[in-house]
Chain A
Amino acid sequence: MRPLLDIRDLVVEISADGTTFKAVDGLNLSIPTGKTVAIVGESGSGKSVTAQAIMRILPKVARIAGGSVVFDDPADRHPPLDIAGIPDGSETMRRIRGGRIAMIFQEPMTSLSPLHTVGDQVTEALRLHARVSAEEAKEKAVEVFRRVGFPDPQRALVTYPFELSGGLRQRAMIAMALITRPALLIADEPTTALDVTTQAQILDLIRELQGETGMSVLLITHDLGVVANMADEVVVMYRGRVVEAGSRDDIFRRAQHPYLRALMRAVPRFGMEPGERLTPLREVATAALPARPPTVETPPDRTVLAVENLTKTFTLRAGVFSGNLREIKAVDSVDLSLLSGKTLGLVGESGCGKTTLSKMISRALVPDAGRVLFDDGTGPQDVHQLSGEALTRYRRTVQFVFQDPFSSLNPRMTVYEILTEPMIIHGIGTSDERFERAKTLLDMVGLDRQSLRRYPHSFSGGQRQRLGIARALALEPAVLLCDEPVSALDVSVQAQVLNLLKDLQKALGLSYIFVSHNLAVVDYVADTIAVMCRGHIVEEAAAETLFRAPAHPYTKALLAAVPDPDIDRPLDFARLRSDKFSDPSAWPEPFRLARGDSGRMMSLAPDHKVRMMTAASLGEAA
C-alpha cells in the first residue's frame, strides 16, 4: 500500500544575513495511513521546519529547494499530488491546508487568537473547507467540542481562549484541527507546554481520535517518553538529516546511532542509579571550581531557611464591569525547611502556588500569615521583620534563578554589566575587584572570559541560563531559589545546566529551593521533595522514598502521568482519564479535604510526611 505522505530528498533552505543554510537537508520520510510517525530531535534539528514545509507555511526566509512531498489523499480520486511542486498560495494548497492536513502547535495560548471566541475559530476552519451554513457549522463544532472533552460544549462556542485552562485550550486546538476530518494531523510538540497529567490526557485523546477516524499523525517532539507511548515509527533528526529511523521497538531496543543513544542519556528519568550523572550531548568544560574553604565548614543539617504556616490569599475581581470579588488561597499554611547544602524540590502543576511561595521566601510578596525564618549561623530570624542592614544582608544571601533566560537578562546590558550590577548595588569591592569576580563567575559557569563584552542576545538559551546562574552567584549567596530553571531549555542543554547546578552546590555548599513541574528533573537534583497542590503541601519525603513509595493519591497520579522512555512501561491512560487528581475534595479517604479543611501533615516514617484529613472530620466521616 502506498503511504499517505511520502517525503523524498526534501531540502529546505533558510537565508539569513546573506548566508544560506540547509535547515532540512535531504530528508526521507513516509507516513503510512492510520499510523503515528514521530520525529525526534533537539531544537534546531529541522523538525518544525519539516512540518512547516509539509503545510507550506514556511517563514519568508525559508524556501523548499528540492525534493518532493507526495500526498496521496484517500478521499481524493485524483492521482497523488506533489505538495512541494505547487505554489503555496494556490487554491489546491489552501484546500489541503487545514482541510486534509491539519496542524496543532506547542503553545495553545498563543496559537489561538485572544480576540475571537473558540467557537468562531473552530467553525471558521470548517466553513473554509466545507459548504455548510453557520448553523450547521455550530452544530458540528458542539459535536467536536463534546468529543474532545469540553465539559460544556454549548458554552465553548462563546468562550474566549483566555477563559480556558491550558489543557482545554489545547483541546480547542485539536477540535479546530479535526473538525474538517483531515487525513493527516501534524502535532508540533503538542504537550510540551502542559502539565504532566494534562499531557497524558491530551496524548490519550489524540490516540483515541486516531482510532476513530483512521487518520495518520506526524508527532514532533523532543520527549522520548512521549514517543515511546505514542509512535508506531520513529525518525531521529539531527542537523536537518535523518540519523536513524525505524519502528518503535527498533529505536528503543536497538538504538544504533550514537546521537540517539546520547539523547537518551541526556534526559533525566526515574530509576537512575544514586549518584548517576547525566551526560549532556555536548559537555561544557567548567573551570575547576574553587574548593570550598574548609575553615567555614558549617555543621551539617543546619536549617538555613524554614517556612512556618505560611499563607497567602489573593482576591480576584471578576471582570471590569462587575464588582464581584473572589478569594483564592494560593498558599495555605505551608511548612517547609531547607537544610544547608541540600536541595529542596518543590513539585506541582501550574497554579498550585509554587511561585507565590518562592516569592514570599524572597520577600517579594508579603504573607497573610506565617513566618519565613532564615538562619545564617547566628540563629533564626523572621525574614519579613528584617529591616535596614539585616535586610540587605538577607537579600544578598538569597538569590534567584529564573525560568526564562531570554527575558530575565536585560538586552541592553553587556555580560560584564549584568554580572557586576549586583555587586555595585551592594557596594562590594572596587571596580578592579568586581572585574576579577566577573571573570571568576564566568569560569564557574563554563563560559568564555571573552564573553564579558558581549550582549545576552548573542548567547544560546543554555548559555544565557548559565549567565543567569552566574549573576545569582555574584553576591556569594547561601541559598538559590531556582524557579523552573530548565523548563524553557532544550533537552540538549538541560543536562548541562542541571549538572552545573549540582557541581556548584558541591563546591560552594549552596542550598537550593528547586521549583519545577518536571518530576524527573526534581528527582535528579533534589534531596527532599515536597509535592504541592492547590496551595497545600500534600506530601514531603526524601527523593528516593517519594518516588519508590508515594503515599498520597495526587503524588501517585503525577508519577503515573509521566511518560517513561521505556516501552515496557507504557502510560496507563485509562487511569489518568478522570480529571479529579487535583481536587482535594475528590481524594479518597483518609486524604480527602473538604472545603475549608486544610488537613494535617502526618508522619508515615521519619522524613516522610503526608497530608490527611483532620481527626475531627475523620471522625465525622466514620
Chain B
Amino acid sequence: MIRFLLNRAATMAVTIAIISALVFFIIKLPPGDFLTNQIAELRAQGETASIQKAEFLIRQYGLDLPIWQQYLVWIGVWPGPNGFSGLLQGDWGWSFEYDRPVTEVVGDALWLTLLINLVVVVFVHVVSIPIAIYSATRQYSIGDYIATFVGYIGLATPSFLLALILLYYMNRWFGISIGGLYDAKYAGQPWTWPKIQSLLSHLIVPTIVIGLGGTAAMIRRMRANLLDELGKQYYVTAKAKGMPPTRALLKYPFRMSLNPFIADIGNLLPHLVSGSVLVSLVLSLPTVGPILLAALKTQDQFLAGFILMFVAVLTVVGMLVSDLLLAMLDPRIRLAGRAR
C-alpha cells in the first residue's frame, strides 16, 4: 500500500512537472507578453513615468530572462531577482492586468468555484441516481419514458440559454435577482450568517443550470449500466436467497454499476471549471472561469498559469482519490493477482 502510494506520488509529480512546462510555454507562445504590449502602448502615448514602472516590473519578474529561466523562476527552482520565489515557495506571482498579487485576484473566486462545483456534483448524483434506478428497474414503463424524454431535453438545452431564461423569469415571478453569488450589499464584507444565507439562495439557480446537462447524461449512463447488471446471475442469486427486492438491488447490482462513476471523479473537475465559463458570464458568477478567459486573452501569464496549474493539480489529485476509492470498493482491483 505504502509502496503504491509512493509510486503514485512520483508519477503525479512528473505529470504535474510536465503540465507546468506545457502551460508556461503555451502561454508564452504568442509573441510578446502583457508588459511589452503595455509598454509599446505607453510609448505611443509618451508616458515616461509609467514606462519606467513597467520596465521596473519587467526586471522584477525577470521577463528579460530567457524563457527557460523564466519558467524555472516561476516554478521556484531557479533564483530570480528576489531569490527563490515561485509556485513551490507559495508565491503565485503578480497579475499585471489587475495590478495585484494573483492570490488576491483569485482568492475568493477559487473557493467559490470549488464550492459551486462541489454542490453541482452532489446535485447531479442526488438527482440522477434515484431517477436512473427507477428508470432501470421499470424499463419501458411510462415513468421510464418520461425520465428519458426529460433527460434528452436536458442534454440538448444549452446551459447558458437556460441561465438566461431562469434569470428573466425568476426576477419576473419571484422578484429575485439571481446574478452573482450573494447580494451586492455583502460584497467585501466578512462571512456572517445572513451572507451565507444569501449565498445559499443564490446557489440554487447556478446549480440547476450547470448541473442539468450532467444530470441528464448521468441518468442515461447509470440506467444503461444498471440494466446490464440487473441481468446478471448474482442478482438472481440474491433474489433466490429471499432478499427483499430493494435491498438486493442496492447491495448487488447498484454497487456494481457505480465503478465507472467513481473512475470518473478525476475527470469531473476540469470539465466543470471550463464548462461553466459561459454560465458564469451570463449569471455574473465570480468564479475563476471568466477570470481565466480574460487572463488568457491579455496574456496575463502568472494569473493564467496559476489557474491552469491549480486545475491540473486538482485533476491529478482527483485521479488518485478515484483510484483509491475504486480499490476500496472493488476487491478485484485491490487483490487481483493474488487469486489461487
Pick the interface stretch among B32-40, B144-152, B204-212, B323-331. Answer: B323-331
A105 and B336 contact, Cβ closer than 8 Å, known pairs A94-B242, A98-B242, A320-B4: no
Whether, in the assembled complex, B112 has its beta carbon less than 8 Å from a beta carbon of chain A, the answer is no
Once A319-B334, A320-B337 are accepted as A-B contacts, the answer to whether A94 and B244 lie under 8 Å apart by CB is yes
Q: CA separation between A94 and B240, bound complex, in Å?
A: 9
Q: Give the chain A neighbours of B232 by CB distance below 8 A.
A: 110
Interface positions, chain A 317-338, Cβ under 8 Å from B, are 317-323
Closest residue of chain A to B4, judged by CB?
A: A321
- B118 close to chain A: CB less than 8 A: no
- Given known A-B contacts A110-B233, A115-B255, A128-B241, A322 and B3 have beta carbons under 8 A apart: yes
CB distance from A319 to the nearest CB of B (A): 5
Q: Do residues A111 and B242 form an inter-chain contact, with CB atoms below 8 A?
A: no
Within 8 A of B (CB), among A290-321: 316-321
Of the candidates B239, B255, B331, which one forms a contact with A97 in the assembled complex, judged by CB atoms under 8 Å apart?
B239
Cβ–Cβ contact B336 & A319, under 8 A: yes
- CB pair B237–A111 under 8 Å, yes or no, is yes
A residues 131-180 with Cβ under 8 Å of B?
160, 162-165, 173, 176
Contacting A at CB under 8 A, from B228-270, are 232-234, 236-245, 251-252, 255-256
**Would B340 and A102 count as touching, CB distance under 8 A?**
no
B338 at the interface (CB under 8 A from A): yes
A173 to B332, alpha carbons, bound, how many Å? 19
Q: Is the CB of B238 within 8 A of A321?
A: no
Question: Is A160's CB under 8 angstroms from B331's CB?
Answer: yes
| CA–CA, A102 and B243, complex, Å | 12
For A164, the chain B residues whose CB sits under 8 A away are 339
Report if B142 contacts A (CB, 8 A). Answer: no
Query: When A110-B234, A113-B234, A115-B329 are in contact, do A163 and B338 touch as well, CB less than 8 Å?
Result: yes
**Interface assignment of A39: CB less than 8 Å from any CB of chain B:** no
Complex contacts, A176 vs chain B, CB 8 Å: 237, 241
**A94 to B248 alpha-carbon distance, docked (Å):** 12
Size range of the chain A interface in the assembly? 35 or more
Question: B241 touching A113 by the CB < 8 A rule?
Answer: no
- Annotate A99-131 by CB proximity to B: 1 below 8 A, 0 otherwise: 100110101001111111100000011001100
The CA-CA distance from A525 to B4 in the complex, in Å, is 51
Residues of B contacting A57 in the complex (Cβ-Cβ under 8 angstroms)? 236, 239-240
For residue A95, CB closer than 8 A to chain B, the reply is yes
- Whether the pair B233, A124 counts as a contact (CB closer than 8 A) is no
Most buried by B among A95, A112, A113: A113
B241 near A320: Cβ-Cβ < 8 Å: no
Smallest CB separation, B238 vs chain A (Å): 7
Which of B4, B236, B241, B327 is in CB contact (< 8 Å) with A124?
B241
Contact between A98 and B241, CB atoms less than 8 A apart: yes
* B335, CB-defined interface residue at 8 Å: yes
Residues of A within 8 A of B3 (CB): 321-323
Q: Is B333 interfacial (CB 8 A cutoff)?
A: yes
Find chain A residues with CB under 8 A from B336 CB: 162, 319-320
Please report the C-alpha to C-alpha distance between residue A318 and residue B336 in the assembled complex, in whole angstroms.
7
Q: Does B44 contact A (CB under 8 A)?
A: no
**A360 on interface, CB distance cutoff 8 Å:** no
Flag whether A89 is at the interface (Cβ < 8 A): yes
Residue numbers in A under 8 Å from B242 (CB-CB): 94-99, 125, 128-129
Interchain CB contact (< 8 A) of A113 among B238, B333, B340: B238
Q: Of residues 248 to 305 in B, which have CB atoms within 8 Å of A's CB atoms?
A: 251-252, 255-256
CA distance A97 to B239 in the complex (A): 8
A480 in the interface (beta carbon within 8 A): no
Q: In the complex, which residue of chain A has the Cβ closest to the Cβ of B258?
A: A115
Interface residues of B in 50-99 (CB under 8 A from A): none
Evaluate contact between A112 and B237: CB separation under 8 angstroms.
yes
Give the distance in Å from the alpha carbon of A95 to the alpha carbon of B244 in the complex.
10
Please give, as numbers and ranges, the residues of chain B lying within 8 Å of A551 by CB-CB distance: none
A102 to B236 alpha-carbon distance, docked (Å): 12
Q: A97 — nearest CB in chain B belongs to which residue?
A: B242
Given contacts A95-B242, A115-B330, A115-B331, contact A317 B236 (CB under 8 A): no
B237 near A105: Cβ-Cβ < 8 Å: yes
Query: Given A99-B242, A111-B237, A115-B255: A162 and B4 within 8 A (CB)?
Result: no
Q: Which residue of A lies closest to B231 (CB)?
A: A59
Cβ–Cβ contact A318 & B338, under 8 A: yes
Contact status B238-A320, CB under 8 Å: no
Most-contacted residue by chain A among B243, B245, B256, B331 (CB, 10 A):
B331
B-contacting residues, A216-231, CB 8 Å: none
Determine if A320 and B240 form an interchain contact, defined as CB atoms under 8 angstroms apart.
Answer: no
Q: Does A55 contact B (CB under 8 A)?
A: yes
Q: Is the CB of B252 within 8 A of A113?
A: yes
Task: Enumerate chain A residues within 8 angstroms of B329, measured Cβ to Cβ.
Answer: 115
**Closest chain B residue to A158 by CB distance?**
B331
Check if A97 sits within 8 Å of B240, measured CB to CB.
Answer: yes
Cβ A317 vs Cβ B337 within 8 A = yes
Residues of A within 8 A of B251 (CB): 113, 116
Task: Determine the chain B residues whose CB is within 8 A of the CB of A113 once the complex forms.
Answer: 234, 237-238, 251-252, 256
Given contacts A57-B240, A97-B242, A103-B240, contact A112 B234 (CB under 8 A): yes
On whether A163 and B340 interact (CB within 8 A), knowing A89-B245, A321-B3, A323-B3, the answer reads yes
The answer, among B1, B243, B331, for a CB contact under 8 Å with A114, is B331
Contact present for A98 and B240 (CB under 8 Å): yes
**A111 engages B338 (CB within 8 Å):** no
Residue from A98, A115, A162 whose CB has the most chain B CB atoms within 10 Å: A115
16 inter-chain pairs at a CB distance below 8 angstroms, sorted by A residue, are: A57-B239, A57-B240, A94-B242, A94-B243, A97-B239, A105-B233, A113-B234, A113-B237, A115-B330, A117-B331, A163-B338, A163-B340, A320-B4, A320-B327, A320-B334, A321-B334
The 10 tightest CB contacts between A and B, nearest first, are: A98-B242, A98-B241, A110-B233, A97-B242, A113-B234, A321-B4, A160-B331, A94-B242, A318-B338, A125-B241
Q: A97-B239, A321-B327 are in contact. List 16 more A-B contacts (CB 8 A).
A: A89-B245, A94-B242, A94-B243, A94-B244, A99-B242, A102-B240, A107-B233, A112-B237, A113-B238, A115-B255, A115-B256, A116-B251, A124-B241, A162-B336, A320-B336, A323-B3
